[in-house]
Structure formats: structure tokens, C-alpha cells
Structure 1
Amino acid sequence: MNFSSSISFTVAERFLRYVTIDTQSDPASLTFPSTEKQKDLGNLLVNELLAMGISDAHLDEWGYVYATIPSNTDKDVPVICFCSHMDTAPDCSGKDVKPIVHKNYQGEDLILPDDTAQVIKMVEHPDLKNQLGNDVITASGTTLLGADNKAGVAEIMDACYQLVNHPEIKHGKIRILFTPDEEVGRGVDHVDIAKLGAFAGYTMDGESAGNMENETFSADGARITIRGVSAHPGFAKGKMESAIKIAGQIIAALPDELSPEHTEGMQGFVHPVAMEGHVETASIDFIIRDFDEAKLAGHVDVIRKTADDVLKAFPGSSYDIAVSQQYRNMKGVLDKNPQIVEYAMEAINRTGLTAKLCSIRGGTDGSRLSFMGLPCPNIFAGEHAFHGRHEWVSVQDMQKAVETILHLCMIWEERS
């Protein structure tokens, strides 16, 4: 079935509407969701789903949107779920987003009008080479766009609209899940897996059109707490051992080859992300990443050895390190049911794209969902340069994502 000629896409108009709603999450918040404004989009989505005739659509107390599209086939088809997150990253403002559609892009520099120093250039964004003739959407220069992950939200919403209005597209029971707080690492803290009742899930949160991701980092966090020696600065000679300076020396002594800025591909890293303290005590927070879970402990040992070496010069000081698990590589879970990824690859190919299996140098809601009992790889949404003012997405890539969802629903029905 050629969806490009048989359906009228609504994804672009939905996306342009959704990005104007501020849904930025807050890592410092102790509430869930971390910002109440994320529910503004959640309520809008529920109302749109209800208007489509999806009668069980609702927003729960935690800010999750759940909905069900009933099966329209006599076959016994496994229930599948499509998932995207509603929040945008804390890294850049998501307030008063003004999306701009650059129609028929021809490779020119995209100068963002509200801050003309912000210029999106093909030389810096090589994926723009694949967008010639397409309609590219950016923000106006002072905010992020929100394609991560409102592109995915809009794609799933358009797919729901098409499934409801085109009964000739045969499918089993489809579950929809929109989550808050993915960007602050809490996106699935309160997901009700039993309520979803799905055999497999798919997050729509990937980058280039055609990409299919079945592997993420395994991730730990670590915090070093340093106890120095405080003394009056006027009488500190030979006495003071500043915990702040010790922390700085530990960070400076970490091996460059294990830093994010010196790694790529399947290489892991150790990354200090925050530091706070005083002369007497200081702390450093790290994120530790590797595709091979067994290597995480070795990366912690690097931090520990670095601290031991630095502390040799500070005999009155000490430290301890606490390590916490964050998420794990979902590939091991997905490999137990290979058809979950295989069907998605076939769906992408049916759109006319060439499916490409990739690894994510990061994590998604699907990472944790996979270990919660919902195997959940990640399909492209078309988002690029996320978390910053140069974020962009193309209308045509979003439409291909919608087609992928529809084909995937059909494949699960065909193979059942």
C-alpha cells in the first residue's frame, strides 16, 4: 500500500501546534511530573484522541497519556504500543517557540530571524543534504524547536488518525503511551506496564529517516564525595586541604581518551556533569556509559584510581564513591524476540527508505521499558540537532515516520 498517495497527512499541522506548548522538564524538581505544564500538552492530546473517537484516551495522575485503538481484524494479533515523550530538554528554553517552515529547501544557510547569529549550515549539519526539495522546520533562534520529541508525538497522533479513518488498514490492538520527564531520566518511573498490556513497544524518538535503533548505552551514575581539611585562610599554610581544589584536580587528571569529546561509535566514556562544594567538602557527579555493561565497573575503577592518585598529595583528606544503576542496553532483551526489530526494519523499507540498524549513544524511554517487560526499540522521528537552538526536522521525514507506523501495524497483522 502506497500511503503517500492514499492518505492526507496531518503530522505537520499537529507538530506546528504542539511545539508552541512549553513542556520543558526540570531536573531539580521533586514532583512528578517535574513540571505541571507538561500536562497542558497531555490534555490537548487526550482531547484530540477523544475527538477521533478513541474513547478510552485519558491523562492519569502522573501525567501519562494512555489510549487504545481496538483491533479491526479477526486474527489474534499481539498488542503493540507506540510511545513518545512530551517534555523538552532543560538545556535550552522551550517557552514561546515560534516554528518556521522553510519550504523547498535548496541547501542555503538557514538564518534564524530572532537571533541572526544563529545560522544552520549544511556543512555543520550534513544530514541536510538529504533534505533538498523538502520543507525544513526550525525554531526562530531564541529557543529549541521541540522536535525531540514532539515530532514523535505528532507522528503517532497522525498514525492514530489514519488508523481510525482508514479501516482498510488491518491491524491488531494498538496501545498509545505519551510520557513526561524523559529528558530528566524519569520518563517511565510510573508507567503501568500491566495496564498497557502490550507484547512489544516502539519509541518514536530517533534521528535520521530510515534509522532503527536496537541498542543503547548501559548507564551508571557515580558521585565522589571529598572530605578536605578546612582552616582559616589567613593561617592556612601547611594546614588547609581544599576539597574544591582536590575535586578540580581529579577532573583534570581523568584520561582524555575516556571523555565524551574524545569518543565515538561503540566507545564508552566517563563524564563529570556537576560539581559543588566548599573547602571542607565537595562532590562530583559523573555519568558512566558503555555498550558493554561489563566495562562499566572498569570505568568506575578509572575514577577511583584517579582520585587515589590525586589524594596522595593531600594526606589529611579522604573520599568515597557511590555508584547507582541508571539503565541498561536493551539489545539483550530485544534479541530474545528478534521479530520485534525485524518487523520494524521491514516497515521502514516498505516506505521506500532503506532501513539502517544503529546504536544509540544515549538512552530512551525504551531502554528502561525493555527491562520492565516491554521490549521497545527506537524508530526514527526525523529530529536533528536536538536540545539546542539549531534543532530541525523536515515535514517529509515526519510523514515517512507516520507511514512506518502504519506499515508496522499491518505487518504484525499479516504475520499473525
Structure 2
Amino acid sequence: MQHIIDRFVSYVTIDTESDPNSNTTPSTKKQFDLANKLVDELKAIGMTEVTIDKNGYVMATLPANVKEKVPVIGFVSHYDTTPDFTGKNVKPQIVKNYDGGDIVLNKKQNIVLSPKYFKDMLLYKGQTLITTDGTTLLGADDKAGITEIVTAMEYLVKHPEIKHGKIRVGFTPDEEIGRGAHHFDVKKFGADWAYTMDGSQIGELEYENFNAAGAKITCRGKSVHPGYAKGKMINSMLIANDFINHLPAGEIPQETKGYEGFFHVTGLSGSIEETTVEMIIRDHNAKKFKERKELIGKIAKKINKKFAKQFGADIVEIEVKDQYYNMKEKVKPVFHIVEIAEEAMKQLGIKPIIKPIRGGTDGCQLSYKGLPCPNIFAGGHNFHGKYEYVPVESMVKATEVIVKIAELTALPNYGLKK
């Protein structure tokens, strides 16, 4: 277990925050610091065909040790961390034999990780937790996944008695800003299917995710001296507020769950003359996803009609871009790849938690690029903030799941009951 802790800490202490405002890949040069370390480490543990391309995509091979023809499988994780919260100078704290009470992350700033608020913590009483020091995120999303993949490959190299087919591993930049699979060379990767190790709670197994789009709403206005503004001024900030108020009440992240979709305002900035609203649109159902995108167009049209005479042109302009789609459509035809992961968990005494992802992973984009790619737990909780933590035992179990999937895939009918 200490080996996994040491490896994980060595990854999270490298700053790999991505930048949505950058047009390069990776979006930040510092992501190469970890990418290059991974290249060296993969070579050191005995992997072959270890490569890194100009965009920071790392790939490697564990050759098959069986003569039979076995499908080539892959495991994928991303090494960037979200720009939502700083990932600079991460100082992990190791809490052994967690007692089920509050964990003081930062005494000076009175930052406490408490099971009264984060009830999932109680699932891990008696285990070893790795937390932040309250000033940064941890980076378990998705450096826990990388730790598990590298550790599993190292284990398989050292234990040739475990029979498996050819295994490919891939590590990507910029997943947190939606670009993790953009330059992923599926043909070069050469796997029949893969798994992203990018889930949360132990047991999670996901093959459904949101259909996703981003929207930019630009509201115009007219600035006039406020003392003489009657009938003349148009305040674009109030137009933006009106637009937001037209969205369905309650269809927001904090009031939805399961398969329920939402509209989420992520940014709002402006002045009297111009205000920009940034928003994401999410829904698992393709028809409802389409209707959500159409709705914001209808809202814009209604406001434009209201101000047509006074403004003389469209006062609201919208730009909508699809980001990714529900991988379910690509995974269901090859559903045995989910069943293999489920069987692996069951054989290891892990209760599978099959549920939709309320978000996306590299896997959803890779699935549409021809690489079906369900998502498996990596163990972390409370991603993207200072309350992030990961139980070490969950990382150990995720590592064992990878090994077991490799083993099952080499068996007749993948070890599944016919």
C-alpha cells in the first residue's frame, strides 16, 4: 500500500493545471512535467512501445503472454487537473486509520473536512485517507487513475503467471477542459476497447453520460447618461438577467440528480453596453438535449422581438457548440465490455455501482472516435476543490480490478457465464 501512496504523491505534487483560454495542446507547458515522468516510469517498469507525441499524449504496451488470439484492451487516464481550483504546491496529508470524525485540513484557516457535510467519508472508517491541506485541490482526478494503471501494469510485468492479451495504456492532457480526446490517435492506440479509470466511489461502473453543449449568450445595450435615460437606455446586464430568468426553474445542477438534465450558468460579465453569459447544457436523453438547445434559441427570439423597435437589431445573440455525446449509443452494441468489468469487481468482492455519469470523461469522446470506453472508479471524492480526498484502499482495489479485467479478457468467453 505504501508503494501506491508514494507513487500517487509523486504525481499530485506536480502542477498540471490546464487552461481553457489556451489554444495549445497541452494547454499548459507544465503538463509535460508529469507526461515526461510517466514516459520514464513506464519504461522503467518494463513496458514497451512507450511514446509521447508533440501534444503530450503518452502511450505504452504490455505485450501479450498468451498464444491465443485475444482482444487488445486499453486503460486510459488524464494527467491534467481542473482550472476550477489551484493545483499548485499540493501538500497531501496522510490520515491513517480514519476514525470517522472531522479532519482538520488547515488549522490556521479553520478548513475542516467533515462527515457531517460529506457523508461518504463514513464509508472509509478505519482506512487510510489522503487529503489536501485545505489550500489546493488534491488531483486524485485523475492522478489516482494514473497511479492505478501504472501500478497494475507493474504488477502484471512482475507476475507473468497471470495470463493476459496485449494491453495498451494511454495518458491524456486537457481532459478537464473538454479536450482530452481531441488529439488522441485511436488507430495508433490500436485497442478493441478500453476503460477510463476516472470514476469516483469504489464500485462505480459507468457507460452512460450527459450529452453536452456549451453556450455563449451575448446581450447588447445602449449607454445613456442615467439622469436623462428614460426611454433611451438599455442595460445589457438586465437583458442578461431577463434571459437567465426565462430558463426553467429548478433545472440547475444543485437541484437535479440521476438522469435529470440542467442548464448551468458558469460565467457572467458585462457592462451597460454588452454582457456575456456563459452556460453549459446537459441531458442524458438525446431528444431532451436537442429541446434544451432549442429553448435558449426561443428565449433569445422572444427578447429580440420585445426590443426590436427600440434597439433596431437583435439585442441577444447566441452561440451553441456541442461538446460530447452519450457514450451509451456506442457501448451498448458491445455490452460485454461492461459485463467484463462488472464480473471483475464481483470476483474481487466489490459491489458494482452501475449508474449514469453526471458529466463526461475522455471515454465518451473516445467512444465516438471508434474506441468504446466505459468508466471505472478511481476512488477519489469531492473533485475540483480543497475538500478532495481519496482512500488508499480504493486505489488498491481499482488496481486489482485492472489486473482482473486483463485476466478475464484472456479467458474463453471472457470468463462470463454464457
Farther off after superposition, 322-331 or 365-374: 322-331
Match of 2:324 in 1: 327
Match of 1:129 in 2: 122
**2:369 counterpart of 1:376:** no
Q: Is the CA contact (8 Å cut-off) linking 1:219 and 1:288 kept in structure 2?
A: yes
Q: How does 1:101-116 map to 2 (within 5 A)?
A: 101-113=94-106, 115-116=108-109
Deviation at 1:184, TM superposition (A): 0.6
Q: What SS does the corresponding residue of 1:145 show, helix, strand or coil?
A: coil
Aligned amino acid, residue 378 of structure 1: N
Aligned residues: 409
Q: Is the CA contact (8 Å cut-off) linking 1:114 and 1:140 kept in structure 2?
A: no
1:243 corresponds to which of 221, 225, 236: 236
**2:341 counterpart of 1:344:** yes
Q: Is the CA contact (8 Å cut-off) linking 1:92 and 1:144 kept in structure 2?
A: yes
Match of 2:350 in 1: 353
1:282 corresponds to which of 261, 275, 284: 275
1:212 corresponds to which of 195, 205, 215: 205
* Partner Cα distance (2:347, 2:74) in 1: 20
Q: Is the CA contact (8 Å cut-off) linking 2:46 and 2:154 kept in structure 1?
A: no
> How far does the alpha carbon of each residue in 1:51-87 deviate from its partner, in whole angstroms, 9 at most, with x for none?
1122321221101111011001111111111000001
1:163 corresponds to which of 152, 156, 161: 156
Aligned amino acid, residue 335 of structure 2: P
Match of 1:40 in 2: 33
Aligned amino acid, residue 117 of structure 1: N
TM-score by length of 1: 0.94
2:93 corresponds to which of 100, 103, 109: 100
* Partner Cα distance (1:414, 1:215) in 2: 27
* Partner Cα distance (1:300, 1:128) in 2: 37
Aligned amino acid, residue 224 of structure 1: I
Q: What SS does the corresponding residue of 1:10 show, helix, strand or coil?
A: helix
* Partner Cα distance (1:55, 1:70) in 2: 7
1:394 corresponds to which of 391, 396, 402: 391
> How far does the alpha carbon of each residue in 1:260-312 deviate from its partner, in whole angstroms, 9 at most, with x for none?
22211110011121233343333322211000011122212332343444456
Q: What SS does the corresponding residue of 2:322 show, helix, strand or coil?
A: strand
* Partner Cα distance (1:321, 1:26) in 2: 24
* Partner Cα distance (1:283, 1:358) in 2: 35
* Partner Cα distance (1:117, 1:303) in 2: 42
* Partner Cα distance (2:106, 2:254) in 1: 31
Q: What SS does the corresponding residue of 1:159 show, helix, strand or coil?
A: helix
Cα 1:115/1:81, change in 2 over 3 Å: farther
Percent identity between the two aligned chains: 48
Q: What SS does the corresponding residue of 1:258 show, helix, strand or coil?
A: coil
TM-score by length of 2: 0.94
Match of 1:5 in 2: none
> How far does the alpha carbon of each residue in 1:348-383 deviate from its partner, in whole angstroms, 9 at most, with x for none?
111111112111100000010000000000000001
Cα 1:389/1:115, change in 2 over 3 Å: farther
> How far does the alpha carbon of each residue in 1:30-65 deviate from its partner, in whole angstroms, 9 at most, with x for none?
211111111101111111111112232122110111
* Partner Cα distance (1:35, 1:314) in 2: 43
What residue ranges of structure 1 are gaps of 5+ in the alignment?
A: 1-7
* Partner Cα distance (1:145, 1:114) in 2: 18
Cα 1:115/1:141, change in 2 over 3 Å: farther
**2:189 counterpart of 1:196:** yes
Deviation at 1:224, TM superposition (A): 2.1
Deviation at 1:231, TM superposition (A): 3.3
* Partner Cα distance (2:290, 2:215) in 1: 11
Deviation at 1:128, TM superposition (A): 1.5
* Partner Cα distance (1:381, 1:217) in 2: 19
* Partner Cα distance (1:206, 1:265) in 2: 15
Match of 1:415 in 2: 412
Q: What SS does the corresponding residue of 1:74 show, helix, strand or coil?
A: coil
Q: Is the CA contact (8 Å cut-off) linking 2:131 and 2:388 kept in structure 1?
A: yes
2:216 corresponds to which of 218, 223, 229: 223
Farther off after superposition, 153-162 or 242-251: 242-251
Aligned amino acid, residue 184 of structure 2: V
Q: What SS does the corresponding residue of 2:148 show, helix, strand or coil?
A: helix
Q: What SS does the corresponding residue of 1:335 show, helix, strand or coil?
A: helix
Q: How does 1:174-189 map to 2 (within 5 A)?
A: 174-189=167-182
> How far does the alpha carbon of each residue in 1:193-218 deviate from its partner, in whole angstroms, 9 at most, with x for none?
11001110100010111110110001
Aligned amino acid, residue 145 of structure 1: L
* Partner Cα distance (2:391, 2:274) in 1: 49
* Partner Cα distance (1:272, 1:116) in 2: 29
Aligned amino acid, residue 129 of structure 1: L
Q: What SS does the corresponding residue of 1:346 show, helix, strand or coil?
A: helix
Aligned amino acid, residue 322 of structure 2: Q
Aligned-pair Cα RMSD in Å:
1.6
Runs of 4+ in 1 over 6 A off after TM superposition: none
* Partner Cα distance (1:231, 1:415) in 2: 76
